[in-house]
Structure 1
Amino acid sequence: MRQLILSTAVLAGMAAPAAAEVELSFYTGWQTLPHSRLSGELPNGGGSYDELVGWDGKSFQMPPYYGARATWWRSETLGFGLEYTHTKAYAPDSTKNALGFSRLEFSDGHNVLTANVLRRWPERWGDLTPYVGGGLGIAFPHVDATHNSGSRTYGFQVTGPAMRLLAGVSYPINDRFSMFGEYQFTYSSNEGEFDGGGTFNTDIKTNALNIGISLNF
């Protein structure tokens, strides 16, 4: 899956016009998740379930929360690109105990990949450049779930559509590098499977405050 993401980014880069400004951005930050409903069928004939889950993001625990964005600025103000975010979602002990799981998490990423459109306002606030953006794409989390019935689910699944919204401001360090801070929201609708015949359905929403660095060329 990660090889597919890299290949897509390379192909998109080859297709971009040579005259366009290319900006590569890398970030980390503090990511949280509001409550959402988790429903479906428990593995191995355990019956249906429907729980309100208070997901935990654990931004600074390994593997950490991070993201990368490639933007091709077609003009001083309008850009298009690709963005990958490695968000995380852990079910609390209360949910796991109620449903019979010892592990229930998207911890090697509740991964989101989107195609973005961005708008910026250079020299609007002196050296500071505000920007906003949004994108549509897919979610492909790494599902890590162990159920008391003997079911063990561990691997990537493409679970449904995703979107993101972002707003931030960047500041140039020199001609090539800039630093930025931003707020970012992601939403995804997820339908997946547990080994042993179980299923899950949940909408995952994240709120994040990001800091990062960009390379321009």
Structure 2
Amino acid sequence: MIRKSLTLAAAVICLAVPASAEMTVSLYSGYQTAPHSKVTTSGVTGSPSNFTTGWEGKSFDMPPYYGLRATWWRNDNIGFAFEVNHAKVYADSVGKTTGNFDRLEFTDGLNLITLNALYRWKNDARRFTPYVGLGAGIAVPHVDLTPTATGAHTFGYQLTGPAAQWIGGVSYDLNDRWALFGEYKGTYSTHNVDVEGGGTLKTNVVTNALNLGVTYKF
């Protein structure tokens, strides 16, 4: 579903962009973490209605943390982007124990799909270009959780709620086609999960990441 969404968005943007506009496609990875958050359950056998869990990012474990961004720069400063961010979080041992879960994770991605507005300070006389951006969209995480009391395994993609992101970074032009970039990226996503065997689980997740990536311009 994510691959189809990215392909469709890229096709729509390409059809809408005039020949003089600049298009870029970026791929990135990096080190991503997430602070603890409150978890609320309803109707989940054996789990308390409220508990707090710490989250681990484990950015370089399979599947790794990464992101894809397609940007339409309308002029030297303003751009709009479609982005898929494959962040992930694992509940720590304390969080799983207090919530009575054998597994509690979103590890084939929080999968945040956003539309972004970007601003850059481009100067043709230099190779470095600072930029910032804001985005909003949806969370389509791969839910992987098992309550200890029932052993029922919730495993699959769900549309769980809205998401937002903010970024700031610097791009370095290697030549007319290729550039490298480094950035800070923060996200906020809401997750209202249907649990196998009955009940729901709700939590809001914040992530922080330092990314390195490559951009192709056309």
Shared fold (TM-score, shorter chain, > 0.5)? yes
Instruction: Find the aligned partners of 1:176 and 1:199 in 2 and give their Cα distance.
Output: 48
Match of residue 88 from structure 2: 88
Instruction: Find the aligned partners of 1:17 and 1:125 in 2 and give their Cα distance.
Output: 25
Shift of 1:99: 2.5
Match of residue 143 from structure 1: 143
Instruction: Find the aligned partners of 1:90 and 1:42 in 2 and give their Cα distance.
Output: 22
Q: 5+ residue gaps in structure 2?
A: none
Instruction: Find the aligned partners of 1:110 and 1:83 in 2 and give their Cα distance.
Output: 13
Deviation string 1:65-120 (CA, Å, 9 cap, x unpaired) is 00010100000111111011000010011221232221110000011011011011
Shift of 1:13: 2.5
* TM-score of the aligned structures, taking structure 2 as reference length: 0.94
Q: 5+ residue gaps in structure 1?
A: none
Q: Contact conserved, 2:128 with 2:172, CA < 8 A, in 1?
A: yes
User: Identity rate of aligned residues, in percent?
Assistant: 48
Structure 1 residue identity aligned to 2:142 = H
Instruction: Find the aligned partners of 2:5 and 2:215 in 1 and give their Cα distance.
Output: 23
- Answer yes or no: is 1:14 the counterpart of 2:15: yes
With over 3 angstroms needed to count, the CA separation of the structure-2 counterparts of 1:6 and 1:195, relative to structure 1, is same
Instruction: Find the aligned partners of 1:51 and 1:42 in 2 and give their Cα distance.
Output: 14
Alignment of 1:1-217 (within 5 A): 1-2=1-2, 3-41=4-42, 43=44, 45-46=45-46, 48-123=48-123, 126-148=126-148, 149-217=150-218
> Greater shift after overlay, 150-159 or 96-105?
96-105
Q: How many residues align?
A: 216
Instruction: Find the aligned partners of 1:83 and 1:172 in 2 and give their Cα distance.
Output: 21
Instruction: Find the aligned partners of 1:76 and 1:167 in 2 and give their Cα distance.
Output: 17
3-state SS in 2 of match to 1:37: strand
* TM-score of the aligned structures, taking structure 1 as reference length: 0.94
Instruction: Find the aligned partners of 1:17 and 1:52 in 2 and give their Cα distance.
Output: 50
Shift of 1:53: 1.2
